[in-house]
Amino acid sequence: MSLCRSVNMEQLRVLELYSGIGGMHYALKECRVPARVVAAVDVNTTANEVYRHNFPATPLWAKTIEGLTLDDFNRLDFDMILMSPPCQPFTRIGLQGDVSDPRTKSFLYILDILPRLAKRPRFLLLENVKGFETSSARDALVKTLKDCGYSYQEFLLSPTCLGIPNSRLRYFLIARALPESFSFQTTTEVLVAFPESKRGDSADRTPNSAPSHAPAPNSSKGRDEGRVLYKMETARDLEKKRCQDEDESVRRIQDFLEEEEEEEGGAGPGMGRYLLPPKTLLRYALLMDIVRPSCRRSVCFTKGYGHYVEGTGSVLQSCTDAQVETAYAALDSLTDEQKLLQLSQLRLRYFSPREIANLMGFPSHFSFPENTTTKQRYRVLGNSLNVHVVARLITLMVG
């Protein structure tokens, strides 16, 4: 296989920093590069339990990264770093502390260690939130890479570009130690799609380039398109969602759902517990992003999913005979009881953790230890990444 040839056949020694539940490890496995994770490092107890449960043979260091010494790093003798530093310092809700935020300390420590290592790793991949590209942490990373003799490429990618009906726009950087070069032409621009290989290697085919999350074409409805119709949505919002749902390069949500055993009422045993409670329905009805199994879209699932409603991920309409328009009709004029009666026709439920793991590309054999709660599962998944997107990037990086 061409991929093995280009990485010199021997097994790469991989260091997985901020390992969480092992999204990077699954991506590494998926792209079938001969490699072994020589250490995974994370401080989160729940995430570590999940990691250990799925990768019992991988050395997992439950300690802070800044607690590792230069000697510790040198002893690991690694060829590749895979890392997702905590993203709160770079997000809007994280107050944008950037490099002054204490949570950035461990990342700056890695940048400090890199030039001092006895052996420079050949490859480095970093994942972060959108917004990282304009942070000074990113500038510090790029400066360190240049000083240490790496070529690099930055990306902003969402799983939709691989035909997965889930938006999760993330920043990625891949770096390769010179004089080795990437199989594609690097650019100082942040790429928003996978590049084509110069080597014509089948391992990094260009994916369907149809930008499924592209803005809807301008509608001719003029002034009306910004007017709120039902829910809090404008004609423009609905048009955008309609376009996403018609993009056949993206799969349908139903391919990622758990089997629902037929039972009276729609949501079968097990899935019934994911139904939205009445209080949530009443309070957040207007803010929820609702998708049907036939849709080809869902919004990014974040760590507050199943707990906070606004902006944490889509909810599923599990009764497809009902119409959202009807369920939402004239809600304002109804009593709470009538509202609930009307809204409950839709049988709105949360996606289960397993379904979110499916959308994020985790293999079917990935599982949670029995003692982790649903809330903990949503939380660690929300912090994780899309495995297929990272697998493609690793392939591109080593190819």
Q: SS3 for 40?
A: strand
Q: Is 369 left (phi over 0), alpha (psi -120 to 50) or beta?
A: beta
Q: State which residue, 103 or 252, has the beta carbon closest to ligand SAH.
A: 103
Which one is catalytic: 4, 31, 87, 319?
Answer: 87
| Beta-carbon contacts of residue 382 (< 8 Å; ≥ 6 apart) | 301, 302, 303, 304, 305, 312, 313
Side chain identity at 120, as an amino acid letter? R
CB of 392 to ligand SAH, least distance (A): 16
Checking DSSP bridges between strand 80-83 and strand 12-17, what pairing results, if any? parallel
Q: Which is nearer to ligand SAH, 106 or 244 (CB)?
A: 106
**Residue 106 Cβ vs ligand SAH, minimum distance, rounded to whole Å:** 3
Minimum distance from CB of 97 to ligand SAH (Å)? 14
Name the residue nearer to ligand SAH (CB basis): 185 or 373. 373
Strand positions, DSSP E, the chain: 12-17, 35-41, 60-61, 80-83, 123-129, 150-157, 170-177, 290-291, 315-317, 348-350
Are 68 and 105 contacting, i.e. CB atoms less than 8 angstroms apart?
no
CB of 18 to ligand SAH, least distance (A): 3
Site of interaction with ligand SAH (CB under 6 A): 18-24, 41-44, 47, 64-66, 84, 86, 106, 383-385
Minimum CB distance to ligand SAH smaller for 87 or for 327: 87
Pick the closer one to ligand SAH by CB: 18 or 274. 18
Strands 123-129 and 290-291: unpaired
Q: In what order do the strands lie in the sheet with 150-157?
A: 60-61, 35-41, 12-17, 80-83, 123-129, 170-177, 150-157
Q: Is 87 a catalytic residue?
A: yes
For the bound state, the minimum distance from the C-beta of residue 20 to ligand SAH, rounded and expressed in Å, comes to 2
Catalytic machinery residues: 87
